[in-house]
């Protein structure tokens, strides 16, 4: 990656974090859907990003959110997990279609179907880990599953909208 691309992705990354901490922290859709836009900072990085750097960025992102949300490592655990799974998911999902190592994860590059097929499972895993750890018992499993699905859809929708209206 060139220095220009590193700066560009760093600015997007910071924008996602600031947006999450300052605005989306208090946005809840129908008491079920929470938007965790900061996961876009991890899942939308180019495929060529080093795995170690990806894990470090995942931990740092989750840790920052845990500090602001006072959640004791829940965001760090969920974000590190998707950072760990992401390279395998890219291989499984995208390289079977003949794409190269220099693949950028964007709506225009993958198309709507490919983009959603890549994005939704990673966001679903993130939200599942987040809400299941937070729940800590299975007394409210129905409510938690509804939160996972609603939050996955809400987060995915917002990421797609940002992709549609950005020049990236």
> In the chain, what are the helix, strand and coil shares in percent, each to the nearest 5?
75, 0, 25
In this prediction, residue 161 carries a pLDDT of: 93
Q: How far is residue 48's CA from residue 36's CA, in Å, rounded to a whole number?
A: 24
pLDDT in tens, 3-40: 787 788 888 889 888 989 998 888 888 889 999 999 99
pLDDT in tens, 44-59: 888 888 899 999 999 9
> Mean pLDDT over all residues of the chain?
88
In this prediction, residue 117 carries a pLDDT of: 92
Residue 25 neighbours by CB distance under 10 Å: 15
- Indicate the SS3 state at residue 29: strand
Residue 158 neighbours by CB distance under 10 Å: 17
Of 20, 26, 64, the C-alpha closest to 38 is 20
Q: Which residues are CB-contacts of 153 (< 8 A; sequence separation ≥ 6)?
A: 33
Q: Which domain holds residue 91?
A: 3-165
Total count of domains within the chain:
1
Q: pTM score > 0.85 for this model?
A: yes
Determine the longest span between alpha carbons in the chain, in angstroms.
50
Give percent of the chain with pLDDT exceeding 70: 93
With a cut of 90, say whether residue 80 has pLDDT above it: yes
Residue 54 neighbours by CB distance under 10 Å: 18
pLDDT in tens, 92-131: 886 655 555 567 788 888 888 988 999 999 999 999 999 9
Of 23, 66, 16, 18, the C-alpha closest to 43 is 16
Q: How far is residue 111's CA from residue 24's CA, in Å, rounded to a whole number?
A: 27
């Amino acid at each position: 990656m060139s220095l220009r691309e590193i700066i560009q992705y760093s600015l997007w990354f910071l924008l996602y974090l600031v947006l999450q901490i300052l605005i989306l922290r208090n946005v809840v859709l129908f008491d079920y859907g929470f938007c965790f836009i900061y996961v876009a900072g991890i899942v939308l990085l180019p495929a060529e990003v080093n795995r170690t750097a990806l894990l470090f960025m995942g931990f740092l992102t989750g840790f920052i959110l845990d500090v602001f949300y006072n959640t004791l490592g829940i965001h760090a655990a969920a974000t590190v997990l998707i950072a760990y799974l992401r390279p395998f998911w890219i291989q499984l999902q995208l390289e079977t279609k003949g794409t190269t190592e220099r693949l950028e994860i964007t709506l225009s590059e993958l198309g709507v179907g490919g983009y959603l097929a890549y994005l939704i499972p990673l966001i679903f895993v993130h939200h599942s880990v987040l809400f299941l750890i937070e729940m800590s018992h299975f007394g409210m499993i129905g409510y938690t599953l509804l939160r996972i699905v609603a939050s996955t859809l809400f987060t995915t929708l917002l990421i797609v909208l940002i992709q549609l209206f950005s020049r990236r």
